[in-house]
Amino acid sequence: MSVLPLVFTSGWASGINAYAVVLLLGVFGATGLSDDVPETLQRPEVLIAAGVLFLCEAVADKIPYVDSVWDSVHTVVRPVAGAWVGALLAGHSGSPSDVAAALVGGSTALASHTVKAGTRMAINTSPEPFSNMIMSLAEDLGVAGIVTFAMFHPGAAAVITAVLLAAGLIALFFLVSRIRRFLRRRAQRREERRLAAHEGRPPD
């Protein structure tokens, strides 16, 4: 399938910021910069909805802990969006190739979403708030850059995406222990506050 590299790349990007992917693809198609974008993504109501939701994500994604809540809500949204975009790019005719494209887009989106959500949980263990903003901006720029590159060089973009996805999964593997320690400490603090309230003494 000649469209598979673009499906793979858009799936990875959807796992990070699905609304940005829909908005970028729609703009490329509506402005005539690409003939590979389905008309569904170019419709004004789709572009407006994607734009509004992108702005919401741009704010929520830069606030510590709010970003993790947002990621939790989008555990289903991003893979579904990746599968939907993949099916549209493949033709959305219900053929086996379209189903395969949807599976590729959805599974890649789920993998990159897992990396993003896990990385954000690890970053939230840091007391300072600036790392969230820096990471969020890097993700936004990365999605914009890789999707734009994929529109004109899909094969090369897919290779870069595969490297980024593999690197993210490896990094997440090493961050898991840090996330677990943070969650244990937070649970312990909650238990200490609960016991202090029950005994009528101020928490430590």
pLDDT digits 0-9 by tens, 165-194:
999 999 888 887 777 776 677 677 777 677
- pTM tops 0.85, yes or no: no
Alpha-carbon torsion, ordered 192, 193, 195, 201, to 10 deg: 120
pLDDT-derived band of residue 98, with 50, 70 and 90 as boundaries?
confident
Per-domain boundaries in the chain: 4-175
Query: Which residue matches tokens 């590729």?
Result: 104
pLDDT of 135 higher than 80: yes
Please list, in sequence order, all residues whose beta carbon lies within 8 angstroms of the beta carbon of residue 65, skipping any fewer than 6 positions away.
124
pLDDT of 2 higher than 60: yes
Instruction: Please state the length of the chain.
Output: 204
pLDDT of 92 higher than 80: no
Task: Tell me the pLDDT tens digit for each residue of 102-121.
Answer: 899 999 999 999 999 888 88
Task: Tell me the pLDDT tens digit for each residue of 33-77.
Answer: 888 888 999 999 999 999 999 999 999 998 888 888 999 999 999
